[in-house]
Structure 1
Amino acid sequence: MRIRRTHGILGGLLVALLGIWGGIIPFVGPYFHYAYTPDKAWTYTTGRLELEILPGAGALLGGLLLIAARSRYVCLFGALIAIASGAWFALGNVFAPLWTVAGPAGGPASTGTLMRAVEQVGFFTGLGIAIVMVAAAAAGRLSAVPSLRAVETVPVAEVPASREPVDDSVVDESETRVIR
């Protein structure tokens, strides 16, 4: 079940970068007026841990497994970790009221409607969907590509030698031209 090492590099790199973005943006976003409350740089809350840091770390781990793995099982495991992390980015705010009264991630810090939507997409929903899409594509590519063992053990069919000379031109009588 070995695979070429290049099969998961691009997808793994994208997933790892998106995981880094998701884990670090709540801390550096306030420098650029792109934040969720509390909109102070490097402020730690349990909501940030549960909804941003942990899924970001999971996506980073899944991406690193996709990059470094030489086994199909390890790559698929990394893709599944990344898919679960992306799903948590996208749906964590929806399920957060089950264990807390206040929204643990806070709210978009901007006052404009467009910027509030951009913050929601960039911090959670869009980020999660992007991670799920890239990790699922990497997992699909792994399941569609044959393993190294399967490629190496395919028997080569031998063509039997013919005793008669073979004419390599065929005449198409409908158009009376020679096709080679």
Structure 2
Amino acid sequence: MAGTMRVPRTRGVLSGILLILLGLWGALLPLVGPYFHFGFAPDDTWVYTTDRLQLSIAPGAAAALGGLILLFSANRVVGMFGGWLAALAGAWFAVGPILATLWNVQGVGAPLGAGDGRHVAEQLAGFTGLGVVIVFLAALALGRFAVVGVREQRLNEPEPPGRTPRNPSSTGATRGRTSAARTRRRPATSTSRATPAGNASGPGAACRGPTWWSRSCRARRRGARRRGR
């Protein structure tokens, strides 16, 4: 059971990076949006209010933290905690401006755009659409962390009965002993050429090794063959 809690660190990398970027976008858009004339009133940068803290900065920080956990987590439980944290942050981006009116939170401000299309784009980019995308990525990460891969399952399967577990060190030692035994059983070979049959004794017996092809040894071998005839 403990082995199935470990997961590869690469499992939540993509979702983690995207969640970090989207969390930073949602948290900083009301503060730096006026630089690009895209965001919410007032048209001044770095204007902090408690409404912006509750509706943008806090959920953006939560989404970025969840993505950071997913990015570096190698434990299934910790990774799923990061995924749930990011999912809750995305849900708050989507429905937070509506629910916050129950405790007299007015909102982060009116959209800066002049037309209706610009208003819709700013609202989607800062809250509703952003929240939906964050929830989707968090759900994707949760699904990946909830699944036990085939490779992980094989690593945690018990060894079949009667089968000795493989030990790399013992396997290497066994191979070394086998190689040494083969070396000892191997017959010794001489660097010199063997003497042909019939010349083990006689005139050509001394012609061995480097002197085998000398002129005198060849003459002795020819004489021995004539006498044999």
The TM-score, its normalising length taken from structure 2, stands at 0.65
CA displacement at 1:106 relative to structure 2:
1.7
Q: Which has the higher contact order (CA 8 A, sep 6+)?
A: 1
Which of 84, 87, 94 is residue 90 of structure 1 equivalent to? 94
Q: Secondary structure at the match of 1:107?
A: coil
Aligned match of 1:126: 129
- CA gap 1:26/1:124 in 2 versus in 1, 3 angstroms: same
- TM-score if structure 1 supplies the norm length? 0.82
Residue in structure 2 matching 1:34, options 11, 31, 38 = 38
> Structure 2: any 5+ residue segments left out of the alignment?
161-229
More helix by share: 2
Say whether the 8 Å CA contact 1:65–1:74 is kept in structure 2.
Answer: yes
Post-superposition Cα deviations, 1:143-168, rounded to whole Å, max 9, x if no partner, equal 123387533033688xxxxxxxxxxx
RMSD (Å), alpha carbons: 1.7
The alignment status of 1:51 with 2:49, answered yes or no, reads: no
Q: Name the count of aligned residue pairs.
A: 156
Change (3 A) 1:66 1:148: farther
Secondary structure at the counterpart of residue 54 of structure 1 = helix
Query: What fraction of aligned residue pairs are identical, expressed as a percent?
Result: 46
2:120 maps to which of 117, 124, 130: 117
Where do 4+ consecutive residues of structure 1 move more than 6 Å?
A: none
Report the counterpart of residue 6 of structure 1 in structure 2: 10
Is contact 2:63–2:134 with CA below 8 Å preserved after alignment?
Answer: yes
1:97 partner amino acid: T
CA radius of gyration, larger in: 2
Structure 1 gap segments, 5+ residues each: 158-180
AA paired with 2:128? Answer: T
